[in-house]
Amino acid sequence: MDTLGTVQDITHTGMVVVRGKYAPRPGTRVFDSAKKEVGKVRRVFGPVKTPYITVKPSRPKGEELLKLMGKRVFADKR
């Protein structure tokens, strides 16, 4: 697994916003440092070199998502 980027924000609708190191395909699974699935890539937007990525959480728990703030997340680059 490769580092996808750093969690920048949690939106009011519960989406996780990641500042990415590359642009993954929509549907790519995203994991935390403990290799637990955070969710799947929903949308990629912004600059090509460091895009913003929205991730739809697979387990929408408010406090769990807030703990991800500022943490690195990972994805398979395939």
In a domain, 73, yes or no: no
Q: Is the Cα torsion angle 23, 28, 29, 34 positive or negative in sign? A: negative
In a domain, 65, yes or no: no
Rounded CA gap, 17 and 49, in Å? 16
> Which residue segment(s) compose the domain that 37 sits in?
2-60
Q: What's 29's domain CATH number? A: 2.40.10.230
- Say whether pLDDT at 77 is over 90: no
The total of structural domains in the chain comes to: 1
In a domain, 70, yes or no: no
Q: pLDDT tens digits, residue range 11-56?
A: 998 899 999 999 999 999 999 999 999 999 999 999 999 999 999 9
